[in-house]
Amino acid sequence: MKAAPCPFCGSHETTCVSRFGSAQLLSQYYCQNCSSFFEYVRWEGEGERQHREEGEDACPNA
């Protein structure tokens, strides 16, 4: 799956920290470029469902 872009610096060098943020549809990420934490909206799209069925996870370390 594609990494969530950092809203502060635009970097894609991000790591998922937690599958759930302040709401169930948010995931928490950490940007390795600017050292910021941010939340990213997880949309239940067809591509996301397909990756989950194939055993891939957008946030495997959570």
Residue 37 maps to a domain: yes
Domain residue limits at 13: 1-44
Give the three-class secondary structure for 60: coil
Total number of domains constituting the chain: 1
Residue 60 maps to a domain: no
* Ordered mean pLDDT values, 10 residues apiece, the chain (62 residues): 87 92 89 96 62 56 52
Question: What would the two tokens of residue 48 be?
Answer: 């996301």
Residue 53 maps to a domain: no
Residue 58 maps to a domain: no
Distance CA 17, CA 61 (A): 7
pTM exceeding the 0.85 threshold for the entire prediction: no
Residue 58 C-beta-side C-alpha neighbours within 13 Å: 25
The alpha carbon torsion through 19, 22, 28, 34 (nearest 10 deg) reads 180
